[in-house]
Structure 1
Amino acid sequence: MLTYLADAATKAQQLAYDPGISPSEGGLPGLSVLKSTVGSINLFAIIAVVGALCVSGIVWAWGHHTGSHGSEQKGKQGALVAAGCALLLGAANGIVSFFSTVGTSVH
């Protein structure tokens, strides 16, 4: 009886910690279409970030050469934001992969 309660407590603790659900690729139809769509959106976003970086660089240079400190500052801000967006877009897969596995290993 005592071992039964200990086993039940261990299983309850295990269930509270790990429900046993993991992502599977064969669960829903259309997964390849969804992956392709998200990949295409990511490509368009990267192209838009390259354009934003070019425009920001032009604004930064124009502001510097005309003495417009406000435009120069906005160009710098735009370049930093575009660089940050490029970093996030490029690292999105790795970030999601890292955080989806945090806390899953049992010691």
Structure 2
Amino acid sequence: MDAFTSVVEAVPTQININPNESGLPGIRALRRIVGAVMTIGLVLSVLALIISAIVWGFGSNSSNPHLAGRGKTGVLISCGAAIITGASVTLINFFWDVGQGI
């Protein structure tokens, strides 16, 4: 029992771990890659918005409700994708802070 008691006493009761930017090589490169992927995501969202608006316009002018509906859906989805891409860092930081408060 004495060995078990000494092991329990050696374990800290309060653990404090924070993100470490210099713990692994390549963290800086990974940040640049994530930033580039975010840029690509925003550019693709703009492209999807333009294409969806064109489809919506063609559907409306040709009296094709199915095509117009698809265009409207595409506009909403591309705007939502841009919102999520742009807010991704803020969302992750928010939930990180919520997790730290638990």
TM-score normalised by structure 1 residue count:
0.80
Report the CA distance between 1:69 and its aligned residue. Answer: 0.2
Tell me which residue corresponds to 1:44.
40
Partner of 1:27: helix, strand, or coil?
A: coil
Whether 1:99 and 2:92 are equivalent positions in the alignment is no
Whether 1:22 and 2:18 are equivalent positions in the alignment is yes
Q: Which amino acid aligns with 1:51?
A: L
Of 55, 61, 76, which residue of structure 1 is paired with 2:72? 76
Report the CA distance between 1:20 and its aligned residue. Answer: 1.4
CA distance in 1, matches of 2:75, 2:92: 25
Of 64, 72, 80, which residue of structure 1 is paired with 2:60? 64
Report the CA distance between 1:103 and its aligned residue. Answer: 4.1
Q: Where in structure 2 are there 5+ consecutive unaligned residues? A: 1-7
Report the CA distance between 1:104 and its aligned residue. Answer: 2.2
Percent of aligned pairs with the same residue?
32
Tell me which residue corresponds to 1:87.
83
Report the CA distance between 1:21 and its aligned residue. Answer: 1.4
CA distance in 1, matches of 2:18, 2:32: 22
Report the CA distance between 1:62 and its aligned residue. Answer: 0.5
CA distance in 2, matches of 1:30, 1:104: 26
Aligned residues: 93
